[in-house]
Amino acid sequence: MEDQSAPSGMSSRFLIIFDFDETIVHMNSDDAVVQVAPGKQLPDWLKDSFRPGHFNENTHRVLAYMAEQGVSVEAIRSAVEQIPPSPGILKLFQFLQAHPQDFETVLVSDANMYFIEAWLHRAGARQLFLKIFTNPASINTKGQLQLLPYHSHNCPSCPDNMCKQVILQDYLARRTKERGCPFQRVCYVGDGANDFCPSLALGPSDVAFPREGYPMHKMITVTQQGEPPGFKAAMVPWVSGEDVVAHLKRLVEER
């Protein structure tokens, strides 16, 4: 689901894209929800039903189970709101909020709109993001939170419900047409395997910020060692959001 509620963008020089789980927040938001399940754990049959690459489908089953157990949407929202931010991320947000003329900020996540908006509103950071691309979420007549897949695609490397490279390329094409010119640079801040695919679409002037030691970082490192290397952008690993700020400051100073 593409969020349409944010204000229209300015002609910022750079585009910066964020993942959500384990990038903006310091854990997987699905895991936070388990904290309000009965006994703070899921039954074995539900855990065993998980299939790699089917996170959206799995979260939908978990939410259905939670509803059956009488766990309220309010309890789930509270659990999500209490997820700690990743180190230095709020400092990074403050920097971006102070430089709207330089950065257009977008979020692309395989979480869902309900979790993301709940957390961002609580953190006071919702208005930073011009667009949010994620799986749709709605509360049905029974008070149950339900999820749908974001889209379908033909990428063999990504989960069935979301290819972030398709989203990135479509967004860049649309914004280039609207702006009348491309962004000077694209920056991508992520951590997971599904953040690796969009990073392959970045060009030589762009920057990938993979969380150090996480799958995206490891996959880029392996790809850089290939012959020929299949990764074109600069790579700047981060432990804290302040590492990203330090690099962005240098980009802003370039004219």
Task: Check the annotation: does 160 bind a ligand.
Answer: no
Catalytic residue among 3, 19, 195, 243, which?
Answer: 19
Residue 206 labeled ligand binder? no
Q: Any catalytic annotation for residue 243?
A: no
Residues in CB range of 246: below 8 A, 6 or more apart: none
Buried b / exposed e along 179-214 (16+ C-beta atoms within 10 A): eeeebebbbbbbbbbbbbbbbbbbeeebbbbbbeeb
Is 19 known to be catalytic? yes
Contacts of 248 (CB under 8 A, 6+ apart): 16, 95, 96, 99, 103, 187
- Residue 70's alpha-carbon distances to 41, 43, 100, 103, in angstroms, are 14, 15, 43, 43
Of the candidates 122, 114, 197, the one whose C-alpha atom is nearest the C-alpha of residue 163 is 197
- Known binding residue 3? Answer is no
Asked whether residue 170 is marked as a ligand-binding residue, the answer is no
| Active site positions, annotated | 19, 21
Could you list the residues known to form a binding site for substrate, using ranges: 30, 110
Binding site for Mg(2+), by residue number, is 19, 21, 191
- Residue positions forming the annotated binding site: 19, 21, 30, 110, 191
